[in-house]
A and B are shown apart, each in its own frame.
Chain A
Amino acid sequence: AQSVAQPEDQVNVAEGNPLTVKCTYSVSGNPYLFWYVQYPNRGLQFLLKYITGDNLVKGSYGFEAEFNKSQTSFHLKKPSALVSDSALYFCAVRDWTDKLIFGTGTRLQVFP
């Protein structure tokens, strides 16, 4: 069965510092991986995806993610965090029936 794990419930970072939100995956076959962000009382917003190709994927709002096959990871990164990046972040994998399997979410808190 496909699954993703987000080992951190919360990540705290100072504004201007780099941030990393971790995600590891377990899939059979090629992984199709996604990151979504959720702001308070809002739906999920698509950030980026990995289907194939370059291991470094660039997405919206300056975010990027690095696909690492040997470590089965797909960590979300940003070189310089903004207070407005504070939100709930979800990693997801698309299974063979096209539905998304989500991680438990990581709350990112960026302090000024």
Chain B
Amino acid sequence: GAGVSQSPSNKVTEKGKDVELRCDPISGHTALYWYRQSLGQGLEFLIYFQGNSAPDKSGLPSDRFSAERTGGSVSTLTIQRTQQEDSAVYLCASSREGRETQYFGPGTRLLVL
């Protein structure tokens, strides 16, 4: 079946601009996660959605980062007023439920100039 998909695959933006990253989870998966992979910080958790529960935003690095999940499916990660340190690969994962194995998408490579 179809895996997790993310778009765009690559994004180049100028410092100060806003960007939106999209994630389509595996159909039927109720849990959705965003992680960030960067050279300096490794793989780090950003935010977690589980069903209709309030999202766990504990990993968001600043208030410039936000995410939403519409209709329990597609999620959008928004970064406002991008900074060069936001350059990273943003990975989305989904699982059937919170306790199940997480399956990752191919990621969005973000470069802030």
A-to-B contact residues, CB < 8 Å: 34, 36, 41-46, 49, 90, 94, 97-105
Contacts and interface: CB of A to CB of B under 8 A. Distances in A.
A98 B91 contact: no
Interface residues of B, number: 26
B43 interface: yes
Interface of B: 4, 6, 31, 33, 35, 42-45, 48, 50, 56, 58-59, 91, 93, 98-99, 101-107, 109
Considering the complex of A and B, which 8 residue pairs feature the smallest CB-CB distances, nearest first? A102-B43, A98-B98, A43-B104, A44-B104, A43-B106, A99-B45, A43-B107, A43-B105
Nearest to B48: A99
Given A97-B48, A97-B56, A44 B42 contact: no
Contact of A45 (B48, B58, B104): B104
A94 B31 CA distance: 14
A82 B45 CA distance: 31
Contacts of B101: 34, 46, 49
Contact of B91 (A41, A44, A49, A97): A44
